[in-house]
């Protein structure tokens, strides 16, 4: 079990997180149109899995907008933002914010992603939501980069994520 903080107060994460070098589990999510899709595992593309507590917070919204911009048009890369938000709210957010370069997925049906990746917030006012984290997977579904953001209210290290993706896939991210 890992820990992060929320406004400086320790928060426990449920389960064991996956680490660099491990195969990422395949998990089914729900898209903004209520269709199901899978993330993780080998799918022939590099994957960026971005976990956020809720798109309805300032930090998560900013993070999603930045990834939408920074990773736009990267061939062979699937970018996914995952939260517990309902698909309808995700659709509204994407339409309002012009999010077109990444896919949003809801983990509201059983928190399968949160549990499989060890990111379910166990206590605090945010209990039941996802911790802020980013995983980069290679084409074989192996984790090549992992960041669990230690303070939930801060953004991830975009430069390190883009550098890891760039060095792994040569996709020209910058």
- CA 109, CA 86: separation in Å to the nearest integer? 10
Q: Tokens at residue 106, please? A: 């809801």
Pairing assessment for the beta strands 103-106 and 77-83 based on DSSP bridges: parallel
Alpha carbon 23 to its chain centroid, in Å, reads 16
What is the per-residue DSSP string for 73-111? T-TTEEEEEEESS-HHHHHHHHHHHT--SSEEEE-TTT-
Supply the DSSP symbol for 60. H
Q: Tokens at residue 168, please? A: 């792994």
Active site residue 169: no
Query: CA angle 120-126-131, nearest 5°?
Result: 40
**Catalytic machinery residues:** 60
């Amino acid at each position: 079990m890992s820990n992060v903080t929320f406004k400086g107060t320790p928060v426990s994460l449920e389960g064991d997180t996956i680490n660099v070098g491990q195969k990422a589990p395949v998990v089914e999510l729900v898209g903004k149109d209520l269709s199901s899709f899978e993330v993780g595992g080998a799918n022939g593309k590099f994957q960026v899995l971005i976990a956020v507590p809720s798109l309805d917070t300032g930090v998560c919204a900013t993070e999603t907008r930045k990834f939408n911009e920074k990773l736009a048009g990267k061939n062979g890369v699937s970018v996914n933002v995952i939260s517990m938000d309902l698909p309808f709210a995700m659709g509204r957010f994407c339409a309002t914010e012009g999010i077109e370069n990444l896919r949003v997925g809801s983990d509201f049906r059983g928190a399968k992603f949160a549990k499989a990746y060890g990111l379910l917030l166990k206590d605090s006012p945010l209990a039941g939501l996802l911790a802020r984290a980013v995983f980069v997977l290679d084409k074989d579904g192996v984790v090549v980069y992992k960041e669990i953001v230690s303070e939930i209210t801060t953004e991830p290290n975009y430069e390190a994520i883009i550098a890891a993706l760039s060095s792994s896939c040569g996709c020209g991210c910058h």
